[in-house]
């Protein structure tokens, strides 16, 4: 994927690039959500990332969760599809993206939590004790999880 993004950036520079992201709301047996604090930031969000060329949505979220948490997820349900103004972002290097997000939900996972270089912390949180610094691009689906809203919500 980085090759694709790099290739596109060489053609369009910092202009807005459309991306497809897939993330997972992983809930433990206590009803808590797994969040990760991204490296180089104090912002918290769910594990996930960008789709690679030729991938199915489910493959993307399974791969990203495994890379970022060392967990193997299964029994995925589509939680929601998100687009709109909150999908726009501009990074410190000037790159702009508009991301469409497909969010999955599961309580089925195995493995032991282990961070990679993308995270500084992984932790489960209750609905009433979420960190205050939630990624603003992910806040809509985390808020929907708190309110227990699932498909057919399309935002």
Report pLDDT digits (tens) over 14-73.
999 999 999 999 999 999 999 999 888 889 999 999 999 999 999 999 999 999 999 999
**CB neighbours (10 Å) of residue 48?**
23
Q: What span, in angstroms and rounded, lies between the C-alpha atoms of 87 and 5? A: 17
| Confidence bin at 153 (pLDDT 50/70/90) | very low
pLDDT of residue 118: 82
The answer to the question of residue 25 being in a domain is yes
- What is the pTM for the complete model shown? 0.90
Report helix, strand or coil for 28: coil
Length in residues, the chain: 155
| Confidence bin at 154 (pLDDT 50/70/90) | very low
Domain that holds residue 89: 2-146
Q: What span, in angstroms and rounded, lies between the C-alpha atoms of 89 and 74? A: 30
Residues 115-123 have a mean pLDDT of 88
The answer to the question of residue 55 being in a domain is yes
pLDDT in tens, 74-84: 999 999 999 98
Q: Tokens standing for 82?
A: 């998100």
pLDDT at 103 over 50: yes
Instruction: Find the CATH number of the domain harbouring 80.
Output: 3.90.79.10
The answer to the question of residue 155 being in a domain is no
Taking CB atoms within 8 Å and a gap of at least 24, the contacts of 5-9 are 5/50, 9/95
C-alpha distance across the termini of the chain, in Å: 26
| Confidence bin at 148 (pLDDT 50/70/90) | confident
| Domain count along the chain | 1
The answer to the question of residue 98 being in a domain is yes
């Amino acid at each position: 994927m980085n090759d694709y993004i790099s290739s596109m950036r060489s053609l369009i520079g910092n202009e807005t690039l459309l991306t497809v992201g897939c993330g997972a709301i992983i809930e433990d047996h206590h009803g808590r959500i797994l969040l990760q604090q991204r490296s180089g930031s104090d912002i918290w969000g769910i594990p996930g990332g960008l789709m690679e060329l030729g991938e199915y949505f489910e493959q993307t979220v399974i791969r990203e969760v495994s890379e970022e948490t060392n967990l193997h997820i299964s029994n995925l349900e589509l939680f929601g599809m998100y687009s709109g103004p909150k999908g726009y972002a501009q990074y410190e290097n000037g790159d702009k993206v508009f991301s469409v997000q497909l969010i999955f939900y599961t309580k089925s996972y195995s493995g032991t939590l282990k961070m990679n270089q993308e995270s500084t912390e992984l932790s489960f949180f209750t609905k009433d004790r979420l960190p205050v610094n939630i990624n603003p691009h992910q806040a809509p689906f985390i808020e929907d999880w708190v309110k227990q809203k699932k498909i057919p919500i399309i935002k």
